[in-house]
Amino acid sequence: MLLVVLQVGGGFGEATVTGRELSAIRMELNIEVEAPGGGPVVAHLLDPSGTEETIALVQREAGVFGGFIEVRRIDWVIVFEALGTRSIQSSPANISELGLDPALLGRVPGVTATTRPAPDPPKGYGWLALGSSAAASALVASWFALRRVRSDSAE
């Protein structure tokens, strides 16, 4: 595992983001940043559609804050903010720049993206159609048989 550390500026020191896959569309991030003490620290995650996720970070050791969050599998932009008497913010950075494995985002270095083939239709619907046809045929045959019995008894 390659650990990338980046200075995010604005009074903040080094920051890292690692993660793990939870599902085809979700991941869990472990966010860590060196921040000035004296108040709470939060991380704002922003995506291009305008969605924002904010997580309060806890002090893991002196001057180092971190936290876990579950989010969609996209390359979020992250901004750290130290709250207190004087709020300060870091420069924005993509989580992939802070060390998140590109494979977790569906990117593999040196491989170009391709379209996926359409998924196979669900199995089992052929039997459902066959069963429905048989039931409909039985219903029609019963109707004709009942009609014939009634016409025979009327004579």
Residue pLDDT, tens place only, 73-82 = 999 999 999 9
Element of type H or E holding 119: none
pLDDT tens, position by position, 136-147: 555 555 555 666
CA angle 81, 82, 85 (to 5 degrees): 130
pLDDT tens, position by position, 99-137: 999 899 887 665 544 445 545 555 555 544 545 555 555
User: Which residues, other chains included, contact 88 with Cβ-Cβ below 8 Å and sequence gap of 6+?
Assistant: 10, 11, 12, 36, 81, 82
pTM over 0.85: no
Write down the architecture of domain 6-105 according to CATH.
Answer: Sandwich (2.60)
CA 69 to chain CA centroid, Å, is 11
